């Protein structure tokens, strides 16, 4: 049965869809460009705020660039929004990361890929992953476990999860994942990111030669955490524009 999507001013069609992941039903926000057939696919993993209005808009922006675009709701199992029973900002982030831990979301991202790859407009052999913040680490974990991705882009994903963000109660480092990657990867960080320790970004950059696939990392001077989000106080227009050009270029190169 064809998915039912709504036309938008940008010339794309978009809307919510549902697909199975194991025994559960997961939702996602799907956008398709106006042109028909054989489209490369980008699966997006969102930040700890969920599939916000901004994240929906970026999903449509990818479609306007010529990609089939699906943002998987990694909070599907907890009501489609991050946990609300927090006491402060730190507790909110901790609960969000635990709700969207790798063990839950990696299978959901793969299920989203398999769902979207079956759409008649999509070429399921050309798939990339894009992650923001929380999702920036999720796509790395996913890319270390699947051969179905041809490219991975990670925006300001924390390289080492602190114990309170990890389901094991111990630090969870993303650095060892580099040696397990099965697709080229591109990283983006703000040079003034207040949420990610600079030494973690330094360590990730130093570890790039250990990557099993080509890996590159960009830093943007003066840009803070979440700088790509034009609804966020940290929005940095110059860094956001350059990041977008590099991201789209990287995806087009590897999904051609």
How many domains does the chain fold into? Answer: 1
Q: What integer pLDDT is reported at residue 20 of this predicted model?
A: 97
What pLDDT digit, counting tens, does each position of 40-98 carry? 999 999 999 999 999 999 999 999 999 999 999 999 999 999 999 999 999 999 999 99
What pLDDT digit, counting tens, does each position of 106-127 carry? 999 999 999 999 999 999 999 9
Question: pLDDT band for position 34 (50/70/90)?
Answer: confident
Question: pLDDT band for position 37 (50/70/90)?
Answer: confident
What pLDDT digit, counting tens, does each position of 212-241 carry? 999 999 999 999 999 999 999 999 999 999
**Structural domain contains residue 186:** yes
What is the mean predicted confidence (pLDDT) over 28-51? 94
**Structural domain contains residue 171:** yes
What pLDDT digit, counting tens, does each position of 132-177 carry? 999 999 999 999 999 999 999 999 999 999 999 999 999 999 999 9
Which residues span the domain enclosing 210? 6-255
The tokens 């054989």 sit on which residue? 38
Where are the extended beta strands (E) located within 22-89? 24-32, 39-45, 68-72
Residue 90, CB-side half-sphere exposure with 13 Å CA sphere: 3
Full-prediction pTM beyond 0.95?
yes
Question: pLDDT band for position 2 (50/70/90)?
Answer: low
Q: Do residues 177 and 144 make contact, with C-beta atoms less than 8 angstroms apart?
A: yes
**Structural domain contains residue 243:** yes
Q: What integer pLDDT is reported at residue 122 of this predicted model?
A: 97
Residues 6 or more apart whose Cβ sits within 8 Å of residue 54: 229, 230, 231, 232
**Structural domain contains residue 103:** yes
CA-only gyration radius of the chain, Å = 17
**Structural domain contains residue 204:** yes
Please report, for the domain that includes residue 57, its CATH number: 3.40.50.1820
**Structural domain contains residue 1:** no
């Amino acid at each position: 049965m064809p998915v039912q999507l709504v036309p938008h001013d940008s010339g794309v069609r978009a809307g919510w869809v549902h697909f199975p992941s194991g025994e559960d039903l997961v939702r996602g926000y799907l956008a398709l460009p106006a042109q028909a057939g054989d489209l490369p696919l980008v699966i997006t993993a969102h930040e700890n705020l969920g599939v916000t209005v901004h994240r929906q808009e970026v999903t449509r922006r990818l479609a306007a660039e010529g990609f089939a675009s699906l943002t998987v709701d990694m909070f599907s199992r907890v009501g489609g929004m991050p946990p609300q029973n927090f006491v402060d900002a730190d507790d909110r982030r901790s609960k969000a990361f635990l709700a969207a831990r790798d063990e839950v979301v990696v299978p959901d991202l793969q299920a989203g890929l398999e769902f979207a790859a079956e759409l008649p407009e999509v070429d399921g052999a050309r798939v990339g992953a894009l992650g923001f913040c929380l999702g920036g680490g999720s796509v790395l974990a996913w890319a270390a476990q699947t051969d179905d991705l041809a490219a991975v882009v990670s925006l300001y994903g924390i390289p080492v999860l602190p114990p309170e963000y990890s389901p094991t109660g111990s630090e969870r480092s993303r650095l060892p994942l580099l040696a397990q990657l099965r697709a080229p990867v591109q990283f983006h960080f703000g040079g003034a990111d207040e949420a990610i320790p600079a030494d973690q970004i330094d360590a990730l950059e130093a570890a790039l030669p250990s990557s099993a696939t080509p890996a590159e990392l960009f830093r943007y001077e003066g840009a803070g955490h979440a700088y790509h989000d034009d609804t966020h106080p940290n929005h940095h227009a110059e860094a956001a524009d350059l990041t977008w050009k590099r991201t789209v270029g990287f995806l087009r190169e590897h999904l051609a």
